Amino acid sequence: MKKEYGQHFLVDENILGVIGRLAGLAPDDVVLEIGPGNGVLTRYLAERVRHVHAVEIDQELAPALSDLGDNVDVVFGDALRVELPQDATKLVSNLPYNVATPIVVESLDGLPGIALWCVMIQREVADRLFAEPGTKAYGAVSVLVQLVCERTGFHPVSRSVFRPRPNVDSALVAFRRVALPEGYARVKAVVGAAFAHRRKTLPNSVELAGLAPRAAAAAALESIGRESSVRAEALAPAEFVALTEALG
């Protein structure tokens, strides 16, 4: 186990049933698993779905992942750099803490075939995904996930199910794809710019990112019924779509 990879392996198999239930596993599913570790979840998945694509960064885990069945393929590499399988229909993973947020965000549009996510992540990150506007937890990832998905399940997870035992709480969160807004790439850029400087007003943040002059951003906000002094965390996800359209 390597600390730099954020590895915390599952050792309590009782949690597997909860994962299976929240993931709604079916015989025709093609599952993408990021960070299979020693293969505990991988084996569980392989017995229940058509195919499992497992992506693992740590080559030293090769022996543990060498005999998982004919319907499992393992790719060794960084999941944020390797080409991920486009045929995957579900992402079911005990995600390494240090890549959990970017994996989720990039899969929203980068893996359009994913219809459902069931991920074990740090509790703090899990709370962010479906946080309400105006709260401390609400941020860019909240907006992007909520524009594409709806939450279908949530289950707090004890630290004792992992080795090594983490210093933070974890949770299983499941969510399913609803729609990808038109012009999502542009919306994603506006959301990223808006939250890049949380303490600044939204027009200032947009200008600093080089997306639009401050005056244009202020005018766009006013056209959707918001004052130019507003900050990013005040806007609901749908308002970011409206703002992006108003920015042109």
218 and 148 in a single domain? The answer is no
Q: Do 88 and 113 touch, CB atoms closer than 8 A?
A: yes
173 and 196 in a single domain? The answer is no
User: Considering 146, 177, 208, which residue would you say is the last residue of a domain?
Assistant: 177
Range of the domain at 106: 3-177
111 and 220 in a single domain? The answer is no
Model pLDDT, residue 159: 77
47 and 98 in a single domain? The answer is yes
18 and 118 in a single domain? The answer is yes
**C-beta neighbour count of 176 within 10 angstroms:** 17
* CATH number for position 199: 1.10.8.100
Model pLDDT, residue 6: 47
Which among 241, 128, 240, 137 is positioned nearest to 175, based on CA atoms?
128
Mean pLDDT of 53-74: 95
Q: What is the pLDDT of residues 118-142, one digit of tens each?
A: 999 999 999 999 999 999 999 999 9
Mean pLDDT of 71-87: 97
170 and 67 in a single domain? The answer is yes
Give per-residue burial for 64-103: e unless 16+ CB within 10 Å, then b: bbeebeeebebeeeebeeeebbeebbbbbbbbbbebbbeb
Q: Do 90 and 116 touch, CB atoms closer than 8 A?
A: yes
Q: What is the pLDDT of residues 48-61, one digit of tens each?
A: 999 999 999 999 99
pLDDT at 110 over 90: yes
pTM of the model: 0.92
Secondary structure (H, E, C), 85-148? CCCCCEEEEECCHHHHHHHHHHHHHHCCCCCEEEEEEEHHHHHHHCCCCCCCCCCHHHHHHHHH
Which among 28, 5, 136 is positioned nearest to 78, based on CA atoms?
5
Cα separation, 123 vs 125, whole angstroms: 5
Model pLDDT, residue 80: 96
The tokens describing 178, both together, are 């609803």
**C-beta neighbour count of 121 within 10 angstroms:** 24
Which among 133, 141, 138 is positioned nearest to 117, based on CA atoms?
141
65 and 188 in a single domain? The answer is no
The tokens describing 100, both together, are 């959990």
pLDDT at 177 over 50: yes
Q: What is the pLDDT of residues 192-245, one digit of tens each?
A: 999 999 899 999 999 999 999 999 999 999 999 999 999 999 999 999 999 999
Which helix H or strand E contains 153, and what residues bound it?
strand 149-157
Number of domains in the chain: 2
